[in-house]
Chains A and B, each alone.
Chain A
Amino acid sequence: MPNTNNSGPRTLYEKIWDAHVVERRDDGTCLVYIDRHLVHEVTSPQAFEALRVAGRKVRRPDLTLAVPDHNLPTTARRDAAGKPIPIADAESAAQLDALTRNAPAFGIRLIGDADAEQGIVHVVGPEQGFSLPGATIVCGDSHTACHGGLGALAFGIGTSEVEHVLATQTLLLKQSKSMEVRVEGDLGPGVSAKDVVLHITGVVGAAGGTGYVIEYTGSAIRDLSIEGRLTISNMAIEHGARAGLVAPDETTFAYVKGRPYAPKGADWDKAVAWWQSLASDPGATYDKVVVINAADIQPTVTWGTSPEDTVAIGGVVPSPDSFADESKRQAAAKSLDYMGLTPGQRMVDVEVQNIFIGSCTNSRIEDLRAAAEVLRGRHKAANVKWAIVVPGSGLVKAQAEAEGLHTVFIEAGLEWREPGCSACLGMNPDKVPAGERCASTSNRNFVGRQGPGARTHLVSPAMAAAAAVTGRLTDVRELMR
């Protein structure tokens, strides 16, 4: 391997890093090769513009895939005659139009809004086999860590870096520190990957992973499906880590095999052999280790405006005074004011008016199955005014419809939508009204994230479904059959 700086037993992260270093400089900065680049409409227009102005080309259009997702409406995109319905917001339309023009102009494949495979980039990449174990994967989006669930080194980048990757297929980076988050034991009934990652975020803290790349290990992680692992690594950035990854194993290989971009024939065997060699060596050390007992993880919800503000569903809204740190006390008081909650209030007494099931965290087929399982034969509560289910891609949508899940959602009074980022960040028309609450399967509960004044409670798909049924945050285990 070229330019290896890590000697002795190595971690998964160090092995992938070493395999991608093109050049190491004296100050530790490395020129790192990027295997796969996903491009969406929000962070790419200025990068393409800069290339055009400088007369530069895209070095490897074949390693680049463009998919619009943030601005697309999730309502019907074609009228009865099959003609595209214009997008009302002129700026959203301009960003989408720019991607539609830029991708072919630079020789990049575009999976457009009319294509069956369109969806959220972080759902489409793994689904198409474009994202592979052991690969370096970037995208101008902070939730790119998602692809780490396959055992890839994946992270978000800024627009200048998007331009740098387009032009050179490399990035200038310094190696991060490594952290192991080990979750051992069996998850209880009703406890999903989302609860695990919310719990981890509560333990590690929103900035606890800053400067680290995290490897999630332990039997509870190994027992997860790829969908579950993608949910975990998706939120690495919510505990501060630029990337999070899970070692590829038989579950990973079975998921990747046969997907459109997956290696085939002799390449497949070569790939599996290399992927098997990537697991952290016995004796490899991490700069920091966090150990969590799976049995301690309950169905989890957030009460504040940082993803670290987590509490088990059976718990209460904490008092700002309960935090040791003065700045956290102030932040908690501000959060509670914004969220309209009072210390000591039981989480199960918090009423919600909106339900969002979707986002790159929780819009894959397993997520929809988990939500449908709770909703089957039930109906949303009267106080729930708006409840939408937004599949992560056209293929997830088709699969869900083949299984009849859409009928379950519609009969329960939820809306079945077209794929996209939707109410996770409300760049399209899907927003939560000011002052109202949303039980949301997304990844960020920041002030105004789902719309100005919107109050977000992050939950798992099953917990969002349970909240839809009762009209308040609910322990899904009470509804399990």
Chain B
Amino acid sequence: MTPINHVAGRAIPFGRKNVDTDVIIPAQYLKTITREGLGRGAFETIRREPGNIFDTPEFAGAPILLAGDNFGCGSSREHAAWALLDLGLICVIAPSFSDIFSGNAFKNGILTVVLPQDAVDRLMEVAQSHPIDVDLESQTVTTPFQDRFTFEIDAFRKHCLLEGLDEVGLTLAQGDIIAAHEGRLRADLPFLASANA
């Protein structure tokens, strides 16, 4: 996973509340076999509207998305996180996120930043014309106008994001205790320890 610390650049001032995963990536895109390329279906219904914020040239390649309350609610599809990554979005700032979405985002190296609504409102204003700056190490979001907002993040998640550690890699590093458990299983519950037809 790509380590993430400093994210600086334009932020898409989206701001909508209760954006569900069907809006982020519609169900017809679930029949894929790769994580790449889902950007073509991301926010499809919104992007059908002429002049929508996602296809405004000055936000092309923006790494940050500003969203409203309860971002990522609905189905558990991980495709929502993959779709954002494919659009180049690596940080989402909102007043709140659905639990499942923020877990999926984390597992894919996307930083989700929770800030109060008034802070998000201010960032929405700045983002219309200026870049913003997110620093994970110091847990701050700043603007060229001296705005400075701090955010909370789970210490384990912060560590993983900063180091680019993925959960699979971390657990693989515990191979010895997993092997010890398998040893106990073979001794105590051999019928669970292996499956033979």
Contact = CB atoms under 8 A, between A and B. Distances in A.
Interface of A: 2, 19, 22-23, 31, 33, 35-36, 42, 45-46, 49-50, 54, 56, 59, 62-63, 65, 71, 91-92, 94-95, 98, 109, 128, 130, 132, 134-135, 158-160, 163-164, 167-170, 172, 260-261, 263, 267-268, 270-271, 274, 427
Nearest to B184: A2
Given A22-B181, A160-B107, A46 B34 contact: yes
A354 B155 CA distance: 53
A49 B35 contact: yes
The 5 closest A-B pairs by CB, nearest first: A263-B191, A45-B33, A91-B31, A271-B191, A260-B197
A132 B191 contact: yes
A130 B195 contact: yes
A163 B31 CA distance: 18
Interface string B87-131: 000000000000010001001100000000000000000000000
5 contacts: A31-B177, A62-B196, A134-B189, A261-B196, A270-B191
B30 interface: yes
B174 interface: yes
Contacts of B167: 160, 164, 172
Given A160-B107, A163-B168, A164-B168, A45 B178 contact: no
Contacts of A170: 171, 178
B194 interface: yes
B191 A128 contact: no
A50 B178 contact: no
Given A23-B177, A62-B195, A50 B30 contact: no
B82, B108, B191, most chain A CB atoms within 10 A: B191
B34 A49 contact: yes
Contacts of B185: 33
Given A23-B174, A158-B104, A167-B172, 10 more contacts: A45-B33, A46-B32, A46-B82, A49-B33, A59-B178, A63-B195, A98-B33, A168-B178, A172-B167, A274-B189
A23 B174 CA distance: 10
Contacts of A22: 174, 177-178, 181
Contact of A167 (B32, B34, B168, B184): B168
A469 to B, nearest CB: 34
A128 B197 CA distance: 8
B181 A160 contact: no
A169 B191 CA distance: 16
Given A2-B181, A98-B33, A168 B104 contact: no
B189 A168 contact: no
Contact of B191 (A42, A62, A268): A268
Given A23-B177, A31-B174, A261 B195 contact: yes
A163 B196 CA distance: 23
B172 A95 contact: no
A160 B172 contact: no
Nearest to A266: B190
A168 B195 contact: no
